[in-house]
Structure 1
């Protein structure tokens, strides 16, 4: 946890912050080995970053006095990530990774090779998703929470939602065997679509290309989804 991230509701009188969340309290004690008087990097969700002095640390509460929370968080990546819903454990890691890298818009998509049982996973509970997003923000010293959307039908997504997403954005379909290598250093906004383990089926590839996406690849190696996501974002931006 490289940033103590507070919800706006945890801020009192502008300069006093109080947290009672067990996860953050445990991290303060066991990882930071924090003591009263320590000055740490803090931020306010969807707000600024600054410094805070720890003034109280007990078993069920920590208090900070905040100082100059005016530093702007890191810039967001200009990308909407469309990710075929991964296995639950991989979903958790992927959400944390992409949040740390600066992705602010994610759509989790159902495709033919996505197991229907994945949509019943506890990892899709809004509270669990929120937790993984917070972990990504804390890692990267960011404060702006991403938006996560669920698209449980491939065809409705392609027909009803994708055209609007592609307006003013470059659509990039990452899939093995596509004709073009992944570009480097994009200078404009994009929609990046990544399939599940095993990739998109041919019908899905055809529909996405018809919608206006460009097929790209990362070379001959077949990567895990969580590896491919990080590699693609790093290369593109």
Structure 2
């Protein structure tokens, strides 16, 4: 936790912030080894950042006196990530990684090789998704919470959502065997589509290319989804 992320409800009218959830309290005690008088970096969710002085730390709560919070969050990546829904453990790690890297728009998509049981995972509960997003923000010292959309049908996504997205984004499909290597140093808005373990099936690739996406590859190595997404974002931006 490189940033103590505060929810607006943690703030009062007198310039103090109070947190009482066990996770943040444990992190303050065990990782920061904070004591009253410690100055720590804090940020308000979807707001600004700055310094705060810890004035009280007990088993039940921590109280901060806030300085002027004037620092802005780091810039977001100009990318909308469309990710075939990974297995639950990989989903948790991937959400944290891409949030730390600055992705603000994420669509989790059903494809042929996505197990239907994945959509029943507790990891897709709104509170669990938010938990992973917050961990990514705290790691990267960011306050802007990403938007996550669940899209459980491939064909409806292709027909109803993708055309509108491609009006504002350059669509790139990461898939082994594509003739074009992944571009570098992109500054335009990108719609990045990443398949599941085993990749998109040929019909899905065909439909994505038909609607206007470009196929690309990362080289001959076959990577796990969480590794591939991180490598793609690093190379693109």
Q: Same fold (TM over 0.5)?
A: yes
Per the alignment, residue 86 of structure 1 pairs with 86
1:56 is paired with a residue whose SS is strand
2:73 is paired with a residue whose SS is coil
Offset, 1:89: 0.1
- Is 1:216 aligned to 2:196, yes or no? no
Distance 1:69 1:141 in 2: 13
Per the alignment, residue 195 of structure 2 pairs with 195
1:148 is paired with a residue whose SS is strand
1:69 is paired with a residue whose SS is coil
Per the alignment, residue 114 of structure 2 pairs with 114
Query: Structure 1 length normalisation: TM-score?
Result: 0.99
Per the alignment, residue 149 of structure 1 pairs with 149
Distance 1:35 1:125 in 2: 35
Distance 2:14 2:221 in 1: 52
Offset, 1:13: 1.5
Q: How many residues align?
A: 237
- Is 1:70 aligned to 2:74, yes or no? no
Task: Return closer, same or farther for 1:141/1:14 CA change in 2, 3 Å cut-off.
Answer: farther
2:70 is paired with a residue whose SS is strand
Per the alignment, residue 139 of structure 1 pairs with 139
Per the alignment, residue 38 of structure 1 pairs with 38
Distance 2:196 2:14 in 1: 45
1:71 is paired with a residue whose SS is coil
RMSD between superposed Cα atoms in Å: 0.6
Query: Structure 2 length normalisation: TM-score?
Result: 0.99
Higher strand share: 1
Unmatched tracts of structure 1, length 5 or more:
none
1:180 is paired with a residue whose SS is coil
1:68 is paired with a residue whose SS is coil
Distance 1:115 1:169 in 2: 28
